[in-house]
C-alpha cells in the first residue's frame, strides 16, 4: 500500500521586517482578529478591545515591532522589549505555516535573559510554539527563556 501525505505549503514568500508607520492599519487588523481568537481560547472575551481603543496601545508602540509580510500584506507581528515578549499575533489563515516561529526567531536574539512572556494556561498551541524555541513554563501563565 502506498501512503500519500498531503501538506499545505505556502507558495508566497514570508518577509520579516521592522514595523513602519504605514503598517498601522494592517497591524490593527492582525491584532484585532488574533487578539479575539486568543481571548476566546483563554475564556476572557470580556477583555477584548480593538487596538484603536486598547489601553495598552501606547505600550505596544513603545516596544520593538517586527511584522510578517506576505504579498505586501502584514499577516503577523511580534513586539518585545528588553527581556519581555509582549505580543505575537498571526492572522488565523496564516497560522500553522511557520510564521509565528519566524517571528520568534527574529526576536529571540534581542531578548535579554532570562526573558519571559505571559500566556493563557489554555493556549496549548501558543505554549507549544514557545516551548519549541526554548521557553519553559515557570507558572501556568508565565514562560521563561534562559
Residue pair 30/75 in contact by the 8 Å Cβ criterion: yes
pLDDT of 15 reads 96
DSSP 8-class letter at 37: H
The pLDDT, as a whole number, for residue 98 is 95
Q: For residue 12, what pLDDT is reported?
A: 74
DSSP class of 20: -
Q: What is the pLDDT of residue 2?
A: 44
Q: What is the CATH number of domain 14-132?
A: 3.40.630.30
Please give the chain's pLDDT, 146 residues, in tens. Answer: 444 443 344 557 999 999 999 999 999 999 999 999 999 999 999 999 999 999 899 899 999 999 999 999 999 999 999 999 999 999 999 999 999 999 999 999 999 999 999 999 999 999 999 999 999 999 989 999 99
Contact 144, 118 (CB under 8 A): no
Q: In 83-102, which positions are buried (b, 16+ CB within 10 angstroms) versus exposed (e)?
A: eebbbbbbbeebbebebbeb
How many Cα atoms occupy the beta-carbon half-sphere of 5 within 13 Å?
2
* Contacts of residue 141, Cβ cutoff 8 Å, sequence gap at least 6: 118, 119, 120, 121
3-state secondary structure of 51: coil
Which pLDDT does position 132 carry in this prediction?
A: 96
pLDDT at res. 6: 38
Phi-psi region of 66 (alpha: psi -120 to 50; beta: other; left: phi over 0): beta
3-state SS class at 70? strand
The pLDDT of residue 11: 55
- pLDDT in the model for residue 3: 46
pLDDT the model gives residue 55: 87
Amino acid at each position: 500500500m502506498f501512503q500519500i501525505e498531503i501538506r499545505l505549503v505556502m507558495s508566497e514568500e514570508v518577509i520579516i521586517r521592522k514595523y513602519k508607520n504605514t503598517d498601522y492599519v494592517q497591524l490593527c487588523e492582525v491584532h484585532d482578529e488574533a487578539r479575539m481568537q486568543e481571548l476566546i481560547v483563554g475564556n476572557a472575551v470580556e477583555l477584548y478591545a480593538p487596538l484603536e481603543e486598547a489601553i495598552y496601545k501606547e505600550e505596544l508602540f513603545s516596544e520593538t515591532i517586527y511584522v510578517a509580510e506576505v504579498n505586501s500584506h502584514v499577516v503577523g507581528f511580534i513586539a518585545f522589549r528588553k527581556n519581555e515578549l509582549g505580543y505575537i499575533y498571526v492572522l488565523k489563515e496564516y497560522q500553522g505555516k511557520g510564521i509565528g516561529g519566524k517571528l520568534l526567531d527574529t526576536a529571540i536574539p534581542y531578548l535579554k535573559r532570562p526573558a519571559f512572556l505571559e500566556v493563557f494556561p489554555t493556549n496549548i498551541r501558543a505554549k507549544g510554539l514557545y516551548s519549541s524555541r526554548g521557553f519553559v513554563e515557570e507558572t501556568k501563565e508565565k514562560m521563561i527563556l534562559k
